[in-house]
Structure 1
């Protein structure tokens, strides 16, 4: 059924791979995945088991990356992968079972291992890096200058537990596992990482300033690799969507033609047809099957988006949905006489070009922080009815009048307003939702956060917050709502309200924060899904 094989890298390290072979005589086209979670798993949390690929005529190779599973060496994360990718491809091309045609696949960490290689390394024939990105800050650990809390701790502790298991340290493995099961990792997770994996990527990220982009690593991809046939799979509720869109932009900038599909997916729960989409892609590029031209997300190069409200796919034959004819770039302003937190009908979202007006004060109490639900960063990622959260008096609501005609929202929502606080630190946590006609539900479409720390939080200044990308159709009679709060716990840590205490779980050092939003110039608008690449190179 399978057999393990070893390769020795140029620095003398042994990497262990598992090979699943099709029935019959080879050689065969080959699919390679390199991952840190154990080759036996083979990312089956989202992807078909290697035996399924074998039945379609592919040799499948899943490798334990350096320092994980049974491979030798020390695991240091992304920075180790470029040279090991090159050595693995050289080894694969020399195997008698491999016919010379190689595709790379996998998501998350396994997505990035497909992209990192030396400049002189020949690229594979095709690759399908899903749900990943190149910027360790903006695509892997932070948003709006706030660290991912629940996700960063949870993933870091998973890697720390793998290292404990590798050392045979059962006690520490159980301590880590227990914290994840009972939720105490949200309070104790950073301490556990510092104790059990002090040199790991996750603890390094959490200790780095989310405000200083210059201190963070941005990985690069060889230009020839970006020009390689590429299938990019993303999800509206996946935290790495920004990274995937950036990857599509970089590929397009150097003449690549990536096939981008963004579907109804969280990081670990994909849409059922994603497997057949991957199969069609690899059959076309590795087995010379005709390209798929119909059905869900056709394999024709372009952009394929799942509409979050009509629950159907839309394909765009250009590489940018913003190039399609539309009703223009919608823009909304805000009005409130001060009761937007207490009367759900008082705050207005206005689309007719009228000026905004008023102010609203949001009081954040760290004893009862506003919870994060649904979306792309919370523990309950995915679509959600946020009506119960919007009933809280520490959430400011701005709701439009019923729409007179259909409206297509597609792209990246961007909010700009003037705000400040009575403490030297505050967060803005925003949700954009649809209120369907004739319903009491509040269908959350997109969320975003922005953190401010330091003395500049005390003075009025213009704040810009970009929400998660979306694609949604609104019907006549529907209303649009923007909700603003001072917390999104535990998607991001609680802001203590001052720089003398770290952001984290609520503690006695956290302060009550009054946040004033001035609405005269506040506006919400849609940016294109894919941004232009003028003057940018893949290494930027």
Structure 2
């Protein structure tokens, strides 16, 4: 999740030349000069249950530092639990000096906001709804409110949208979710070890509550955007990183709501693009809010999809994702360790389950590799694996990892997916796993936009562990794979 260092990096990057050119699109080059100062005041925003949120209001100011006269559009800026109001306020200054009110607030149970922290819960969503409506009815706002945030703040922006506050006009979620269960906590039904440090430092109560809900139930539906996609109907500019942990959810949101969602996906790790390679700057963010909140004739992105082709192919723009020219291409796993186009044939390959944290031994996974590619191969969309496997235990995990193998043998991870065998029919209920019986296991692999160069090889590995992305919690024993294929979207 977002740290203070990332917030400060965002502020510094506003004055730092980008590491690479942004897309050649007027949307990203949009700008206008700062015309206001900034007036900051601490306030308590009242909530419907009598409690309040601790907020800093950043309002456009005149030369004397007083709140400037007039009615301004407003932004809820990074509504999260990190008690970093000053840092996020500094980042919001860019918008305030261009005529926006920015509310920077601590969620319930964090900072000076009283109560119990329960991330992304219905209570937190009601609070966010109340904050938007309070802000939209102030005499110094124009009644149009936007919300912007990264990670935790990206999640809350999306969840705010599906609660449909009347004054919410547009959002910009950065590295947001479609579903907290699937994107973060139980990946393929397997608990993610990677999130525990965040739980310990930010929301320790969840170390108790989350393990009580290993299946997808009402607890998780409450925290889901996917469960309410029909209500995600405000203009939404999603900013995602192809190296980010939430890219699958961001792509899913676009595919569910193509009419009102635009997607920008860059070569970024988790966090704001500011300061990262191929930083897109702040022009597009301002254009988005100017158009939907400020009533200015600001441009939209030229295409619905703006995507950076990894690892260094540069920006591409498409009318849809996957692009119209993309097509599925299936590769089959073979008993001799090859990966080749076609449906494949039965074989038998087995590995020992790794029950220890950390990477397993090479003999604790199976690897399948193409020969050197004769032409470049672009993976540009979703990836679905289907593995037929039997377990000696009453459950098991599968981790499917896709890699790019360079001519010198160096392997670079491209993407991955996971599945607990008992969740093969979905996460709402467990399906029995009988030792020795082979099951068809559909493993959803995160989407990507990646070019493998001619002479490189495509590799798929199948194992039981992928620590820290998932816990090594499968029962001890062996897994036997008897058939498998991976369908890539290529273009």
TM-score w.r.t. length of structure 1: 0.72
Q: Could you tell me which of 432, 440, 444 is aligned with 1:462?
A: 440
Q: Could you tell me which of 345, 350, 361 is aligned with 1:356?
A: 345
- Contact 2:309-2:315 at 8 Å conserved across structures: yes
Which gives a bigger RCO, structure 1 or 2 (Cα 8 Å, sep 6+)?
2
Give the length in aligned residue pairs.
Answer: 429
CA displacement, residues 440-474 of structure 1 (integer Å, 9 cap, x when unaligned): 21121101112235643542111111111111122
Aligned-partner SS, 1:358: coil
Residue 121 (structure 1) aligned with residue 165 (structure 2): yes
Q: Could you tell me which of 4, 7, 17 is aligned with 2:55?
A: 17
- Contact 1:334-1:357 at 8 Å conserved across structures: no
Q: Hey, what's the Cα distance between the residues in 2 that align with 1:516 and 1:39?
A: 50
CA displacement, residues 455-510 of structure 1 (integer Å, 9 cap, x when unaligned): 4354211111111111112232221111122211222111251xxxxxxxxxxxxx
Aligned-partner SS, 1:265: coil
CA displacement, residues 428-449 of structure 1 (integer Å, 9 cap, x when unaligned): 222111123x332112110111
Aligned-partner SS, 1:137: helix
Residue 282 (structure 1) aligned with residue 289 (structure 2): yes
Q: Hey, what's the Cα distance between the residues in 2 that align with 1:316 and 1:329?
A: 17
Partner of 1:296: none
Q: Hey, what's the Cα distance between the residues in 2 that align with 1:21 and 1:119?
A: 26
Aligned-partner SS, 1:393: helix
Q: Could you tell me which of 496, 509, 516 is aligned with 2:480?
A: 516
Aligned-partner SS, 2:388: strand
Question: Cα distance 1:273–1:419, how it changes in 2: closer, same or farther (>3 A)?
Answer: same
Residue 411 (structure 1) aligned with residue 415 (structure 2): no
- Contact 1:82-1:113 at 8 Å conserved across structures: yes
Residue 329 (structure 1) aligned with residue 328 (structure 2): yes
Aligned-partner SS, 2:116: coil
Give the deviation of 1:120 after TM superposition.
6.6
Partner of 2:22: none
Alignment of 1:362-441 (within 5 A): 362-367=351-356, 369-370=358-359, 392-436=362-406, 438-441=407-410
Partner of 2:187: 143
Partner of 1:30: 74
Alignment of 1:473-484 (within 5 A): 473-484=451-462
Give the deviation of 1:100 after TM superposition.
2.6
CA displacement, residues 37-78 of structure 1 (integer Å, 9 cap, x when unaligned): 11515558xxx7122322333221111122221122333332
Q: Hey, what's the Cα distance between the residues in 2 that align with 1:424 and 1:216?
A: 26
CA displacement, residues 124-144 of structure 1 (integer Å, 9 cap, x when unaligned): 221112222343321331111
Question: Cα distance 1:417–1:443, how it changes in 2: closer, same or farther (>3 A)?
Answer: same
Q: Hey, what's the Cα distance between the residues in 1 that align with 2:201 and 2:490?
A: 35
Aligned-partner SS, 1:411: strand
Partner of 2:17: none
Give the deviation of 1:316 after TM superposition.
0.4
CA displacement, residues 174-209 of structure 1 (integer Å, 9 cap, x when unaligned): xxxxxxxxxxxxxxxxxxx4xxx3xx4x53222322
CA displacement, residues 507-526 of structure 1 (integer Å, 9 cap, x when unaligned): xxxx3x2211113xx21102
Question: Cα distance 1:301–1:257, how it changes in 2: closer, same or farther (>3 A)?
Answer: farther
TM-score w.r.t. length of structure 2: 0.79
